[in-house]
């Protein structure tokens, strides 16, 4: 029976910041993580084969590999299992609160989920091995693990990304005990054709354009004010999102760009298009329907002029329009391939155990709770893209019934920083959010989905700026 192993975060009372693994490694691997293979060979019989009572009598110990990297070998117990942990030395910044104030310090740590850590999980009931886990990523929620098959002789492989399994129970044809002493480079070689390593390997140096766009948008947010139903047309004039007609700009907002949620993501796309085409995107093509809706559904009840798929159509058409400009030819949405529809996960671990992963639903997208692992995979596979997100929420109609509609839109920029840690920035309604903040704001909404349309990033990104006061003193 497979059990979930709970990884305890660093038990330092005053921990404050990040963990920095020491830059040593014995055997080179593509993730440049410390390797404990030699240390594990030295302690295998005592620490990996000894009974729980025997391990309880052992003190944790420190051993070094060939190049001097120190690893701690120790026992930790959980309710039904016990763990033998081989963890590399790392350094952690901490704040120590003393009587006269706060003192910053650097302390050594041996975190069980830091890059280079190795875990053997065994049953308390009979001491049988249940899994071996290798941590290799800067994000502790990403790891690879191996389990013995039912006969206990061969092994099965799992690739886990934030509780979602990109692979689970893949037969490897390798004796399970091989993973007691195998280096990380060896397990990569053994499983390169069986496990989806492409989904967990950041592409160093390919996120520069993403960072340029993030910094440019971030620097412009002070010049943006939210206004309902607000965008700018191909000439840079303020218009209504819904009908493209000229709109009134309040006097106190004329020194800023006034944008609604859909208008804001158009402003971002315009910043890519204008350097190439010399003008911004036209409004009318962006509101064209991208699929047929149910004639007796929510739209029929809420009114013929009410589009229940507005931001879905808008983001799809925006992405297709940017692609058209880049290719110097008209590419309609239906021929563009801009929708994100991949389903990289088989199952998901929840408080209730394993459940089928909630994948892509046509013309609906993905559940908000699914975004983090999905964007992690997208950032590894497609490092030079950001995503226009159409947000589906539940609203109450005039008849009191609830309906699902696409009204709002956001832009999401996933990437890996210079240290290889996954990050994602969300711009929504002219405000910057972390991915966690964005997802948390919608998770409580039953039926909240996000549909993604891909757009390639660009370093030549020059979004519209507020007009000068003299020019902006007009009412459209």
Q: What is the pLDDT of residue 152?
A: 78
Token digits for 307? Answer: 């589009």
More confident residue, 355 or 436: 436
Give the integer Cα–Cα distance in Å for 160 and 147.
13
Q: Are residues 34 and 111 in the same domain?
A: yes
Q: Kindly state whether residue 280 falls inside one of the protein's structural domains.
A: yes
Q: What is the pLDDT of residue 91?
A: 82
Helix boundaries (H) for 11-137: 37-43, 49, 52-56
Q: What is the pLDDT of residue 432?
A: 98
Q: Kindly state whether residue 476 falls inside one of the protein's structural domains.
A: no
Helix boundaries (H) for 44-126: 49, 52-56
Q: Are residues 441 and 337 in the same domain?
A: yes
Q: Kindly state whether residue 115 falls inside one of the protein's structural domains.
A: yes
The residue count for the chain: 476
Pair 279, 235: CB distance under 8 Å: yes
Q: Are residues 159 and 213 in the same domain?
A: no
DSSP secondary structure string for all residues of 244-265? --B----GGGTTSEEE-HHHHH
User: What is the Cα 158 distance to its own chain's centre?
Assistant: 19
Q: Are residues 180 and 212 in the same domain?
A: no
Q: 323 lies in which domain range?
A: 208-456
Q: What is the pLDDT of residue 385?
A: 99
Which residue among 178, 199, 220 closes a domain? Answer: 199
Q: What is the pLDDT of residue 414?
A: 99
Q: Are residues 327 and 423 in the same domain?
A: yes
Give the integer Cα–Cα distance in Å for 457 and 451.
18
Q: What is the pLDDT of residue 18?
A: 37
Strand partners of residue 410 = 389, 428
Q: What is the pLDDT of residue 21?
A: 38
Q: What is the pLDDT of residue 55?
A: 98
Pair 261, 231: CB distance under 8 Å: no
Give the integer Cα–Cα distance in Å for 346 and 92.
35
More confident residue, 152 or 472: 152
Q: How confident is the model at residue 306 (pLDDT cuts 50, 70, 90)?
A: low
Q: How confident is the model at residue 24 (pLDDT cuts 50, 70, 90)?
A: very low
Q: Are residues 354 and 411 in the same domain?
A: yes
Task: Tell me which residue has tokens 């507020």.
Answer: 466
Give the integer Cα–Cα distance in Å for 464 and 42.
63
Q: State residue 471 phi and psi, 5-degree precision.
A: -75, -30
Give the integer Cα–Cα distance in Å for 316 and 329.
17
Q: Are residues 242 and 157 in the same domain?
A: no
Q: How confident is the model at residue 352 (pLDDT cuts 50, 70, 90)?
A: confident
Give the integer Cα–Cα distance in Å for 457 and 43.
49
Q: What is the mean pLDDT of residues 202-210?
A: 96
Q: Kindly state whether residue 304 falls inside one of the protein's structural domains.
A: yes
Token digits for 158? Answer: 């799992």
Give the integer Cα–Cα distance in Å for 154 and 175.
4
Q: Kindly state whether residue 467 falls inside one of the protein's structural domains.
A: no
Task: Tell me which residue has tokens 């239906």.
Answer: 334
Which one-letter DSSP state was computed for residue 116? T
Token digits for 20? Answer: 């920095």
Task: Tell me which residue has tokens 């040593």.
Answer: 24
Q: Are residues 61 and 35 in the same domain?
A: yes
Structure pTM?
A: 0.89
More confident residue, 265 or 347: 265
Q: Are residues 163 and 292 in the same domain?
A: no
Strand partners of residue 422 = 416
Decide if pLDDT at 457 tops 70. yes
Q: Are residues 295 and 418 in the same domain?
A: yes
Q: Kindly state whether residue 105 falls inside one of the protein's structural domains.
A: yes
Which residue among 158, 173, 199 closes a domain? Answer: 199
Q: Are residues 252 and 349 in the same domain?
A: yes
Q: Which helix (H) or strand (E) holds 273?
A: helix 261-277
More confident residue, 190 or 399: 190
User: What total number of domains does the chain contain?
Assistant: 2
Q: What is the pLDDT of residue 248?
A: 94
Q: What is the mean pLDDT of residues 189-195?
A: 96
Task: Please list, in sequence order, all residues whose beta carbon lies within 8 angstroms of the beta carbon of residue 401, skipping any fewer than 6 positions away.
Answer: 301
In degrees, rounded to 5, the angle at the alpha carbon of residue 367 between the alpha carbons of residues 138 and 216 is 60
Q: Are residues 387 and 305 in the same domain?
A: yes
pLDDT single digits (tens) 101-147: 787 888 889 999 999 999 999 999 999 999 999 999 999 999 999 99
Decide if pLDDT at 29 tops 90. no
Which residue among 199, 229, 258 closes a domain? Answer: 199
Q: What is the pLDDT of residue 298?
A: 52
HSE (CB half, 13 Å, CA atoms) of 139? Answer: 20
Give the integer Cα–Cα distance in Å for 134 and 138.
12
Mean pLDDT of the chain: 89
Q: Kindly state whether residue 404 falls inside one of the protein's structural domains.
A: yes
Query: Which range is least confidently modeled, 270-274, 333-337, 386-390, 471-475?
Result: 471-475
Task: Tell me which residue has tokens 């493209």.
Answer: 244
Q: Kindly state whether residue 375 falls inside one of the protein's structural domains.
A: yes
């Amino acid at each position: 029976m497979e059990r979930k192993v709970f990884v305890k975060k660093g038990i330092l009372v005053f921990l404050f910041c990040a963990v920095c693994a020491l830059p040593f490694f014995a055997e080179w691997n593509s993730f440049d993580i410390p390797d404990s293979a030699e240390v594990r060979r030295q302690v295998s019989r005592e620490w990996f084969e000894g009974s729980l009572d025997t391990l309880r009598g052992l003190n944790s110990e420190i051993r070094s590999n060939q190049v001097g990297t120190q690893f701690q070998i120790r026992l930790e117990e959980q309710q039904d299992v016990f763990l033998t942990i081989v963890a590399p030395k790392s350094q952690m910044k901490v704040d120590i609160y003393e009587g006269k104030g706060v003192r910053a310090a650097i302390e050594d740590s041996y975190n069980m989920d830091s890059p280079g850590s190795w875990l053997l999980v065994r049953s308390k009931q009979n001491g049988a091995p249940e899994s071996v886990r290798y941590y290799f990523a800067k994000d502790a929620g990403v790891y690879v693990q191996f389990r013995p098959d039912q006969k206990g002789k061969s092994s099965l492989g799992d690739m886990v990304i934030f509780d979602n399994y990109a692979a689970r129970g893949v037969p490897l044809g390798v004796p399970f005990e091989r993973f007691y002493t195998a280096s990380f480079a060896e397990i990569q070689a053994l499983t390169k054709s069986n496990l989806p390593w492409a989904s967990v390997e950041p592409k160093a140096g390919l996120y520069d354009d993403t960072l340029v766009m993030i910094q440019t948008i971030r620097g412009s947010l002070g010049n943006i004010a939210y206004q309902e139903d607000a965008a700018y047309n191909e000439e840079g004039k303020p218009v209504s999102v819904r009908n493209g007609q000229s709109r009134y700009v309040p006097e106190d907002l004329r020194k800023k760009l006034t944008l609604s949620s859909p208008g804001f993501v158009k402003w971002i796309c315009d910043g890519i298009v204008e350097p190439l085409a010399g003008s911004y995107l036209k409004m009318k093509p962006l509101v064209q329907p991208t699929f047929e809706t149910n004639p007796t559904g929510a739209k029929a009840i809420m009114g013929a002029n009410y589009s229940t798929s507005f931001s879905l159509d808008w983001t799809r058409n925006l992405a297709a329009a940017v692609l058209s400009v880049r290719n110097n030819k008209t590419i309609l949405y239906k021929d563009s391939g801009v929708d994100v529809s991949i389903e990289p996960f088989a199952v998901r671990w929840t408080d209730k155990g394993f459940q089928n992963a909630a994948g892509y639903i046509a013309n609906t997208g993905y559940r908000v709770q699914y975004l983090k692992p999905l964007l992690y995979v997208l950032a590894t596979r497609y490092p030079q893209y950001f995503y226009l997100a159409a947000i589906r929420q539940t609203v109450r109609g005039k008849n009191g019934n609830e309906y699902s509609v696409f009204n709002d839109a956001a832009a999401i920029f996933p990437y890996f920083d210079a240290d290889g840690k996954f990050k994602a920035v969300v711009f929504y309604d002219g405000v910057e959010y972390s991915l966690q903040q964005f997802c948390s704001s919608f998770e409580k909404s039953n039926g909240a989905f996000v549909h993604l349309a891909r757009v390639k990033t660009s370093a030549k990104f020059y979004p519209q700026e507020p007009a000068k006061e003299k020019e902006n003193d007009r009412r459209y």
